[in-house]
Chains A and B, each alone.
Chain A
Amino acid sequence: MPLLKEFRYHSPATVGEALKLADKSKEPLLLAGGTLVLNYLKRSPRCPSDVIGLKKIKALEGIKDSKEGVSVGAMTTIAELLDSALIKKSFPSLIQACARIATTPIRNMATIGGNCCSRFYWVDLPAVLESLGAKVVVATSRKKQIVSLRDFLSSKPSKKAVVTRILFPRKDLWGCYFRYTKTMDVDIPSLGLAFACRRNNSKCADVRIIVNTTTSLPLELKQTQKLFEARELGRIDPNQVRECLDADAKGTKLDEYRLSCLAADLGNLK
């Protein structure tokens, strides 16, 4: 029995063509790496009429550096990010996150754009990208917009918009990523913690602490961020960290296990 229900497949060469196809078709589906969506289609009773593959679009490829920051094509695979000297140098926390995504063959297939668009609560990249102040370039048939990742993830998903690139306007941020699983190394994370800041004479500035936990929108830990602001890492009272975390946890799904993990790693940051 065929594993997938029948659909028409298109491989446009430009973003414009892809958007035209999406506009025209009854039930379009934009296909990036396919590791999440093709699995979903095997199980789902739903079936797209048209699958629009993005693999041949040159504008979605490549990692570029410029004065405005770093621009990563949405079809860049996780493996390509891991191999990129520029990413390794500029965004170690992104490398830490990528290294823990799924398994080697999945990392060879999955893309940064697909990871950001999937909206599963457990995907790794949104939290770390948000901590690094990333923006996304979203193209529709009418316009091309640059929006913050948070705004993009808060907006309604559209079948007729293509994320073309991920932008990192700032290269002055230092960051790290911690990931916890309840079972083994390879599993969806029960918690992901992204920390980023500018290190100003060993003091922290512009602190961003974002976690992905049980909601599709990553959670910003505002009280805890404030605690770290203008302080020196390694010289913050762990009890204070825990207090701020408890305050941030109100009304969220951060339970004792997760708070305990967060307190441990934030308390030990150096």
Chain B
Amino acid sequence: MKKITLEVNGKPYALECPDSELLIETLRDRLGLLGTKYSCLEGECGACTVLLNGENILSCLALSVEADNAEITTIEGLAKGSEPHPLQRSFVDKGAVQCGFCTPGMILAGKALLDKNPHPTDDEIARGLDGNLCRCTGYIKIIDAVRHASKK
């Protein structure tokens, strides 16, 4: 067991967790942040995407002890109260949400991309989202939504 401190969505958490615990387990099972999904648990699907110090990473491939003192953003941390983040709003408006299972990871990957590159081309958007699988949409409306948010 290790004592660690995580800053999740702006709130500090002092936790004691097993050395071998993965970040996805800490977020879902200890902190109840169920917006972080998982589907494959092998780093292929991107449903467990979170932002670690602003970069999109896969929480099924990260040890919680290695996230000690890091800033983590999950999908629950994007909106300001009932005011959605511009990316959340454009995903809704542009029809980019179908079953919704990939949506949290997609939006976070989109945020990491736009934070680094505020005006991406469509190819750059596609590249930025290449770690996140979606089986419903064919990605076209998702790419639309990120492009739309980048123009705001």
Answer yes or no: A and B touching, Cβ < 8 Å.
yes
Asked if A39 and B42 make an inter-chain contact with CB atoms under 8 angstroms apart, the answer reads yes
Contact flag A104-B65 (CB < 8 Å), given A8-B19, A51-B19? no
Give min CB distance, B31 to chain A, whole Å. Answer: 16
Contact flag A106-B19 (CB < 8 Å), given A9-B2, A34-B63? no
- Among B18, B41, B63, the most chain A Cβ lie within 10 Å of the Cβ of B63
Contact flag A186-B130 (CB < 8 Å), given A42-B41, A105-B46? yes
Q: Is B25 an interface residue (CB 8 A)?
A: yes
Indicate which residue in A3, A53, A104 contacts B56 across the interface (CB closer than 8 Å). Answer: A104
Give min CB distance, B25 to chain A, whole Å. Answer: 7
Residues from chain A with Cβ under 8 Å of B127 in the complex: 104
Q: Mark A100-118, 1 if CB is under 8 A from B, else 0.
A: 0011111011000000000
Residues from chain B with Cβ under 8 Å of A31 in the complex: 63
Residues from chain A with Cβ under 8 Å of B88 in the complex: none
Q: Is B22 an interface residue (CB 8 A)?
A: yes
Give min CB distance, B131 to chain A, whole Å. Answer: 3
Q: Is B62 an interface residue (CB 8 A)?
A: yes
Asked if B62 and A3 make an inter-chain contact with CB atoms under 8 angstroms apart, the answer reads no
Distance in angstroms between the alpha carbons of A31 and B20 in the assembled complex: 12
Asked if B20 and A105 make an inter-chain contact with CB atoms under 8 angstroms apart, the answer reads no
Q: Is B76 an interface residue (CB 8 A)?
A: no
Indicate which residue in B19, B56, B109 contacts A9 across the interface (CB closer than 8 Å). Answer: B19
Q: Is B128 an interface residue (CB 8 A)?
A: yes
Asked if B65 and A11 make an inter-chain contact with CB atoms under 8 angstroms apart, the answer reads yes
Asked if B43 and A39 make an inter-chain contact with CB atoms under 8 angstroms apart, the answer reads yes
Interface residue count on the A side (C-beta < 8 Å): 28
Tell me the interface secondary structure of chain B in the complex: mixed
Within 8 A of B (CB), among A1-51: 2-9, 11, 31, 34-35, 38-39, 42, 51
Give min CB distance, A39 to chain B, whole Å. Answer: 5
Asked if B128 and A9 make an inter-chain contact with CB atoms under 8 angstroms apart, the answer reads no
A/B pair count, beta carbons within 8 Å: 85
Within 8 A of A (CB), among B67-116: 109, 112-113
Distance in angstroms between the alpha carbons of A38 and B61 in the assembled complex: 6
Contact flag A105-B49 (CB < 8 Å), given A9-B65, A35-B61? yes
Task: Give the nearest-CB partner of B50 in chain A.
Answer: A105
Q: Mark A126-142, 1 if CB is under 8 A from B, else 0.
A: 00000000000000000
Give min CB distance, A38 to chain B, whole Å. Answer: 5
Asked if A4 and B55 make an inter-chain contact with CB atoms under 8 angstroms apart, the answer reads no
Q: Is B146 an interface residue (CB 8 A)?
A: no
Distance in angstroms between the alpha carbons of A5 and B43 in the assembled complex: 18
Residues from chain A with Cβ under 8 Å of B61 in the complex: 34-35, 38-39, 106, 109
Residues from chain A with Cβ under 8 Å of B57 in the complex: 105, 108-109
Asked if A3 and B60 make an inter-chain contact with CB atoms under 8 angstroms apart, the answer reads yes
Query: Which chain A residues have a beta carbon within 8 Å of chain B's beta carbons?
Result: 2-9, 11, 31, 34-35, 38-39, 42, 51, 53, 55, 79, 102-106, 108-109, 185-186
Selected A-B contacts with CB under 8 Å, 20 pairs: A2-B21, A2-B25, A3-B60, A4-B21, A6-B19, A7-B20, A9-B63, A11-B66, A38-B22, A53-B65, A103-B46, A103-B130, A104-B129, A104-B131, A105-B56, A105-B131, A106-B61, A109-B58, A109-B61, A186-B130
CB-CB nearest 4 A-B residue pairs? A103-B131, A9-B19, A105-B131, A4-B20
14 additional contacts (CB under 8 A) given A31-B63, A105-B131, A109-B61:
A2-B25, A8-B19, A11-B65, A11-B66, A34-B61, A38-B63, A42-B42, A51-B63, A55-B66, A102-B131, A104-B127, A108-B57, A109-B58, A186-B130
